[in-house]
Amino acid sequence: MRQRHEGQAGPPLRLTGLPPVVSPQTVVLVLGSFPGAASLRLQQYYGHPQNQFWRILSAVWPQHPLPQEPGAYAARCEWLLARRLGVWDVYGSCLREGSLDSAIRDAQVNDFGGLLEACPALAAVAHNGGESWRHHAAVRDSLATSARGPAAGQIGSVRLPSTSPANAAISFARKFDAWKECLARYGLV
């Protein structure tokens, strides 16, 4: 990730996203739009302390405590994978100032064609918010034309309420209910 320092003039630099967190056992892939500034700085998905992603998932699986200690990101990723959940983003790179999806410019969509080789058990893509959802048809089509062929066309697409702090109009309880229902539908709860 490269960003211009405060006070420097000029256009924004191209930002590069994070690699996917997936395994052959991934059943549901959560797709965000693009990591916010805090996540890029930390090189961690959902790194902003007010993002509700980790809090929601922790509430979905209370019997499996989420690693909380400092520096626990790798353990959190393993925790996700053990629950058969993966994480990635629609965009692999973009121009953006700040963290808002509305500020994303010149975005390059990730290549989803090879994803099914890494995730042969994939049953659904859960889009974390509206910006990711805008690309659900393209993601579905990319998966359908991949090596897995026609069976890939049966992968579900679900729009979930964004866990972003910018999505404060929807209560935690409503977000939790939607996320839990989605994960239960695919046998993860």
Q: Which residues belong to the active site? A: 51
- What residue spans of the chain are helical by DSSP H? 37-42, 53-60, 73-82, 115-118, 130-133, 136-144, 172-185
CA distance 135 to 105: 15
Evaluated on CA atoms 103, 41, 80, 69, the torsion sign reads: negative
Q: Which two tokens stand for residue 51?
A: 């993002």
Distance in angstroms (rounded) separating the CA atoms of residues 18 and 47: 12
List the structure tokens of 37: 């500034």
